Structure 1
């Protein structure tokens, strides 16, 4: 390594010397935002004259915060974080790359993580059982039965791949485990004759990796394919972004929660526009903002659209490290390193040079919900009775849903009516809030006050509580709040994402029947971060995000269309009305319980043996081979990405004679493209599994079968709420084959086009690919033969994923759109002038059946030179494989 700025220095902490690269050797670095300082240190430490040179570092001396991003750097995160939905296909790809490496004459053992890679199994537990003390054990047993093959495969990976660790199932949610245990804040490793200290940075195969920003670690979500390349030692090519400073002042008012705060921030930042930008929080409120609140705000970075939402490291950070059981030596290193590098935060800290700034007085935040289908659509709680009828009417008009009136239902010996607005799912779920003691203690106190009045959940509400980590269970037990939560139906259903990821499990049969027979617009309320259409439950059309204590309150009320401030939630045993204020705890009650019961003992005990797992995991047999032998399985299958691959790279030609698979509108999420929920027996994926002898009761979810490309390509564009404008009046993965005009599934049409040798494209509106960082939203289309996507705009991760799978992302320009151009999707498309991937623009010709032609120019969204290489190679994995094989 070179050292152009003489930045290499020594830091002594508690008698131990560390090699560090000092930021203050670069003139002007003192004015940089914290996040940009982290990028600068990364380049100083990795300056090699090839991927990082002196000019790259000098750029930061003259960084123009207001300029449009144009400087490309090669960034190397310290570690990679995965969860099992996205992690299983990543390990499948590594196993397939080992096979391909052997066929290319290389050494398969080169395919192994070059830096720490950690996977937490948290996305597979489903809420089949709820409302009983046995729910956790029964759900965990079903989880193991359904996912044994996947878990055996992950144990193979842990055995075969150096530097790869797995946190077993039924332990915690990935991002909560990351902040409570895995994060180092300041990394240290042996580097030759020295121990090197540097910023802990990470990328993760889940968009909510941003949660780690709350404790001062720069991290964000990437596609699985990009994470795999990073694991294999490849730098991440990125443009130095703009940094939005978000100034926080004041103090939250009595009765206002961290969830209310984050929903307000999401709304503000979405309105401002921060896609592709870093956000940093600063201001006088930071020094008194508890870590739980910081983590909640950082977690929802994808919801406000930013790459990250970073908080500084300060005394509150050190207190949190001590609370969560980090060693005193590590805490001392964090403090000393941050002070030496000029990133230690105090209330008097000077304001950095930000690209843009916003400001929020925490005193202006009010109790809120968000919904019914986007997290940025905040609803002030005192306006819900005005909001809901309008939202309901809009949904019914949009979807053509008739109003049939209430349905009479009998369940467990109780009779009641269900109607539009009835809450059928109420869940305390998702690391967004389960990582935050203030809202969990508040939920427990609401339950305690409600139980004391003899209140119960409404009988039609399916309740669920996914604690997020075993530390949560321990401190709620100590505080005496577990039993009150159970009294309201909030039993522990599993340490996983559960309802937030759509693993809600079935609704009771009478509830499902009433919804279906009466076209009811039922409601879910959850303390999660995502409420997209079809995500929480296929039968629930309207979904609202809320704080855990509000979730408990609404489970009692059973309806969304009440005014919680003026209408009673229910009546007590004596018939007296009970209002929200009667069961809502004071701030003093919440903070007192936190101070007494949330202690380091809970965290150290919870994480004492985190990688060991329970008896089921320990007894799980796994292969001990260097390469995987791919046994017959409907969960794990060798993907065809590298079939017939050679070391040579053929030029990429123009795309001619393409047909449109789907013509889509705005805000198409990765949930729409690559759903993770239930598999319907009559869907292409369901038919495939039945042909393989799988009983529908054993289908599991699409997310759990991401290791089998045959299932996933059949699940691509199969979301039940997807509306393909080529097939008006339909919902789901339906299209019209061209030129026959025959209606069929998108999968069947794609296969027919492939048989005919015809390339496919997708045309879409704004914010294409928003939502979770699902690499299958790019892998699936590639396997369906999609060569290009033409959209008005893209979400950051999905655009990168498309390039990473060799799919061409194109963007309408000059105000063009499918609508303005009159495109119907029935045309034949020619994309010309690609210039082997180097073109900045291409000409698109759309020829209708009658011979009429529409021509327009589209922008090529291959944004960096590295991405040109990836695209030419057919994808990032092909590029890495060829590079390693050639070496």
Structure 2
């Protein structure tokens, strides 16, 4: 039987001829003949509808799913669950390694239970791009790229050997080797087809290219008209293994774009404006679909920049329909003539093509005249906090004025006495001025100094106009005799090799290099915390005097503690502004007014003197050509000699190495041969942590550098790893021992059970002792005490990280109780057998005055658990008083109920496979 519905419930299968090729299509037009017009249905929902038609079975439930999409045109908040089958899965290596570790563990569990391990195999195509492991150790040097690649291969030898094994052991699993580019840019420039094809039983089927990815910025591909979004690694693994993704039909918010960007404005300015507008509107869990005739003025790269930031504005995705701009970009990037012809014919046949004057029906809508966009950055802690460029200096100063700062003398006294650092001092606020020694010279270092300036991340490095604008600004700056400040760590990490090709072709790379923006690697570096160390004299000054220094990066994430643990303020900016701030050296500089330097004639140089015109940018963009893409992607899966020389075992099950500190056999499936235990109430649970609003997965999941004194650092020391070889948490995501020790260990996390303490600490209630969250969790586990986490609004926002859920599970947390959840993290908690519970409206940790000393018993958790059921809670205070209240169980779909009963989504898949093989 075909994997697609041969006898579709609505008989919509038809043929499409394009040139000499014939394709089988599940026609939306034929569905309209049965169920009514689709003319004003958002195009993103038409993609979901086609998916339902293609996978429909002869059942009443299938017809109800399809009818619900049609009904959406009359009622845009239809609460109806559907099953979605993405065409493929995209991974980056941080999230991909633990996913492959799980698959390897599932194979071993299958073998031990007497099943066939080769049944654990992707059923959908999977591409894993190694892009998150390169770190900025070397910079501002012509040797920086080679040095960083050497260190990357040295540090990650075990991980890369494991991925090479996976590449050979699993079917439909491809690996893009390190040093190629960022997964989202590789997806945009090469992997995505817009319309996919699949040969089944001698017939070729055509359908929309769709995907899910293990990185939240998978949404970038929606700029190309490909529906995709980020899921947890756990969900992605289930999708690989043939499980549909259960989801409610989303609300779709229309965003109408009119006009065009004015002179001097960049795609970054536009996306920061859109992000702020949509975050204010409230689009969490919704689709955003862009429409309006202004799209004709928006290059594909600008669309991708906007789509990339969907996690930052809170939406599931930001979708752009297919049109002539899409085809032009596909032609530029080297897609075949056959692919172009099929994309146009299929999109027009199915009503997915953007027509002039299109006005779909939306759940809600808003609009923007792009002519009104002004130069902006975002920061210092959240991507949605847009600040007009002229206001940056004042905004930072206002924030600085709120800090209670010790005096310089008090800092020095504490340092000399060995009694602490500036953090411990209690004096009144003063403006700090420390000093650092750099290349034999002494420089003052003060609050607001830019210590990191990085052109990095998929958001902007996919966009030739802003990358070339940075190069043009660098050229003008060098010609004026300007140079970056000595304390600025500058770096250029493009999203693909094509970027350096066109920067070199335009003659701009030498000027970036003269300002210290040398190539440091192809991958996601500073934006994910792989910024590498600062010079020791700078780190010492920042730490000793508690300086509030800044980073400026062309990325999408600027959460606390993410870029660098010592950098408190982080600002998102366009690539040319990154270069400009490196010249200025301090965020308290008003770039629109400040003198950046003096030229050879003694004339003062301002930003306006070096900012490139739109005409100059357009001329530079002409250097981008199709041959660059064809050349760089000709052997994209081959890798260099170092990659090809990696030796791998020829085994279908992985040979685990007992002494490995990178890849360890996880315990998740140890009891899979036993029947799933029935669901039970949570009895007398202790609170492990009480957290506030907007706690992100960057706070929860291990990320960035591993500190020597942390539980993870101590574990590595015990296993013979020296601190200089700790690498990052991201690189050790295949080792659950490291990751569970780093869960809730972010240096900026604030546990309200402790007063004035930052970092991953808690109070162990039986002894009232302060200790690390990991150590307390292990003590509670020793006496079988269940644990809960209490939190505020928007719990789990940020990147989709499976370890935020896996680590929570391994710490012994049975439930997370929050005021609201981010979509991906809520799903991931269920996928790991952790219950997401929500306070009822008007209630919170504050209204119940929780201190962490309480015990909670949660009643109603049994095998009759229903979707969004209310559960009873008995709260016992420290003095023995008892109170009762209710919580909403945030298991939102029937499939999620089944996953939770099985112990998690992968347990559900594996148990079903074992049952079929027995």
SS of 2:670's equivalent? coil
Matching residue of 1:516: 543
Partner residue of 2:906 out of 863, 866, 877: 877
- 670-679 or 846-855, which moves further after superposition? 846-855
- 34-43 or 100-109, which moves further after superposition? 100-109
Give the conservation status (yes or no) of the 8 Å contact 1:213–1:295.
Answer: yes
Residue 103 (str. 1) matches residue 108 (str. 2): no
- Offset of residue 20 of structure 1: 0.3
Matching residue of 1:792: 819
Residue 374 (str. 1) matches residue 382 (str. 2): yes
In the aligned structure 1, how far is the partner of 2:600 from the partner of 2:439?
20
SS of 1:285's equivalent? helix
SS of 2:809's equivalent? helix
In the aligned structure 2, how far is the partner of 1:623 from the partner of 1:201?
33
Give the conservation status (yes or no) of the 8 Å contact 2:77–2:363.
Answer: no
Q: 1:354 to 1:704 in 2, by over 3 A?
A: same
Matching residue of 1:413: 440
Matching residue of 1:777: 804
In the aligned structure 2, how far is the partner of 1:677 from the partner of 1:820?
35
- Offset of residue 257 of structure 1: 0.3
Give the conservation status (yes or no) of the 8 Å contact 1:100–1:642.
Answer: yes
In the aligned structure 2, how far is the partner of 1:754 from the partner of 1:441?
55
Matching residue of 1:856: 885
SS of 1:477's equivalent? helix
Matching residue of 1:459: 486
Matching residue of 1:357: 365
Residue 846 (str. 1) matches residue 875 (str. 2): yes
TM-score (norm 2): 0.95
Residues 132-174 of structure 1: per-residue CA shift (max 9 Å, x gap) = 0000000000000000000000011000000000000011001
1:400-799 matches, cutoff 5 A: 403=430, 405-573=432-600, 575-595=602-622, 597-632=623-658, 633-646=660-673, 648-799=675-826
- 44-53 or 622-631, which moves further after superposition? 44-53
TM-score (norm 1): 0.98
Residues 551-592 of structure 1: per-residue CA shift (max 9 Å, x gap) = 000000001111111121233355532110010000010011
Residues 271-301 of structure 1: per-residue CA shift (max 9 Å, x gap) = 0000000000000110121011001000000
Over the aligned positions, Cα root-mean-square deviation in angstroms equals: 1.4
Give the conservation status (yes or no) of the 8 Å contact 2:109–2:669.
Answer: yes
- 337-346 or 13-22, which moves further after superposition? 337-346
- Offset of residue 416 of structure 1: 1.7
In the aligned structure 2, how far is the partner of 1:394 from the partner of 1:604?
53
- 818-827 or 568-577, which moves further after superposition? 568-577
Partner residue of 1:324 out of 317, 333, 341: 333
- Offset of residue 453 of structure 1: 1.0
Residues 203-242 of structure 1: per-residue CA shift (max 9 Å, x gap) = 0000000000000000000000000000001100110000
Matching residue of 2:420: none
Give the conservation status (yes or no) of the 8 Å contact 2:218–2:229.
Answer: yes
In the aligned structure 1, how far is the partner of 2:176 from the partner of 2:60?
33
Q: 1:840 to 1:394 in 2, by over 3 A?
A: farther
Give the conservation status (yes or no) of the 8 Å contact 2:548–2:568.
Answer: yes
SS of 2:284's equivalent? coil
In the aligned structure 2, how far is the partner of 1:145 from the partner of 1:161?
25
In the aligned structure 2, how far is the partner of 1:574 from the partner of 1:801?
61
Residues 239-269 of structure 1: per-residue CA shift (max 9 Å, x gap) = 0000000000011111010000000000000
Matching residue of 1:61: 70
Matching residue of 1:79: 88
- 854-863 or 155-164, which moves further after superposition? 854-863
SS of 1:455's equivalent? coil
Give the conservation status (yes or no) of the 8 Å contact 2:68–2:78.
Answer: no
Matching residue of 1:5: 10
Residue 389 (str. 1) matches residue 411 (str. 2): no
Q: 1:328 to 1:90 in 2, by over 3 A?
A: same
Matching residue of 1:867: 896
- Offset of residue 370 of structure 1: 0.2
- 231-240 or 57-66, which moves further after superposition? 57-66
SS of 1:189's equivalent? strand
Residues 22-73 of structure 1: per-residue CA shift (max 9 Å, x gap) = 1112222222101100000001011123696222212222224644341111
Give the conservation status (yes or no) of the 8 Å contact 2:134–2:525.
Answer: yes
Residues 506-527 of structure 1: per-residue CA shift (max 9 Å, x gap) = 0011111110111100000000
In the aligned structure 1, how far is the partner of 2:74 from the partner of 2:465?
36
- Offset of residue 854 of structure 1: 3.1
Residues 806-849 of structure 1: per-residue CA shift (max 9 Å, x gap) = 00000111311101110111111111122433261111222122
Partner residue of 1:115 out of 118, 124, 133: 124
In the aligned structure 2, how far is the partner of 1:244 from the partner of 1:849?
47
In the aligned structure 2, how far is the partner of 1:395 from the partner of 1:212?
41
Matching residue of 2:173: 164
SS of 2:885's equivalent? strand
Residue 825 (str. 1) matches residue 825 (str. 2): no
SS of 1:537's equivalent? coil
- Offset of residue 628 of structure 1: 0.4
Q: 1:198 to 1:517 in 2, by over 3 A?
A: same
Give the conservation status (yes or no) of the 8 Å contact 2:584–2:591.
Answer: no
In the aligned structure 1, how far is the partner of 2:466 from the partner of 2:443?
31
Residue 147 (str. 1) matches residue 156 (str. 2): yes
Residues 400-427 of structure 1: per-residue CA shift (max 9 Å, x gap) = 9864620122201232211110000000
Give the conservation status (yes or no) of the 8 Å contact 1:403–1:519.
Answer: no
Query: How many residues were matched structurally?
Result: 885
1:239-258 matches, cutoff 5 A: 239-258=248-267
Q: 1:825 to 1:69 in 2, by over 3 A?
A: farther
Residues 56-107 of structure 1: per-residue CA shift (max 9 Å, x gap) = 2122222246443411111000000000000000000000000111122221
In the aligned structure 2, how far is the partner of 1:126 from the partner of 1:297?
26
For structure 1, which runs of at least 5 residues remain unmatched after alignment?
none
Matching residue of 1:126: 135
In the aligned structure 2, how far is the partner of 1:51 from the partner of 1:765?
40
Give the conservation status (yes or no) of the 8 Å contact 1:258–1:296.
Answer: yes
SS of 2:739's equivalent? helix
- Offset of residue 384 of structure 1: 1.5
Residue 299 (str. 1) matches residue 304 (str. 2): no
- 727-736 or 88-97, which moves further after superposition? 727-736
Residue 808 (str. 1) matches residue 803 (str. 2): no
Give the conservation status (yes or no) of the 8 Å contact 1:685–1:714.
Answer: yes
Give the conservation status (yes or no) of the 8 Å contact 2:555–2:573.
Answer: yes
Residues 696-733 of structure 1: per-residue CA shift (max 9 Å, x gap) = 10000001000000000000000011111111121111
Matching residue of 1:21: 26
- 737-746 or 84-93, which moves further after superposition? 737-746
In the aligned structure 1, how far is the partner of 2:169 from the partner of 2:440?
54
Q: 1:301 to 1:472 in 2, by over 3 A?
A: same
1:182-261 matches, cutoff 5 A: 182-261=191-270
